[in-house]
Amino acid sequence: MLSRAAELDGNAYDTLGAAAEMLDAKHPLAATLLRRAMIEDTLDGGKSKRYRHAARHLSDCASAAPQVGDFGGFPDHAAFAAQLKKRHGRKYGFWQLAGD
């Protein structure tokens, strides 16, 4: 899964959300990558009805970051959040829900 993370369809939020929950305990990096795909799909597509879910996913990613430890070739949580802010900083509704 990790080697094919770029191929994840973040629009498949029902499937990815359930999978992320199942992976949380033993595979926090995989769960984080699933959530990131959903966040990016939401923001890239300007899907404002999903902002609340995306904000929750971002919070879940922040909570999981200490358990991940080694992000391998993927950006750590702070870097990922900074990239999101740079690309989607004007999506004020999302950032308000995300607590920024």
Phi-psi region of 75 (alpha: psi -120 to 50; beta: other; left: phi over 0): beta
Q: What is the pLDDT of residues 67-92, one digit of tens each?
A: 998 999 999 999 999 999 999 999 99
Closest CA to 34 of 51, 50, 58: 58
CA distance 27 to 13: 18
Domain span including residue 61? 2-98
5 band by pLDDT with thresholds 50, 70 and 90: confident
Domain tally, the chain: 1
Q: What is the pLDDT of residues 13-69, one digit of tens each?
A: 999 999 999 999 999 999 999 999 999 999 999 999 999 999 999 999 999 999 998
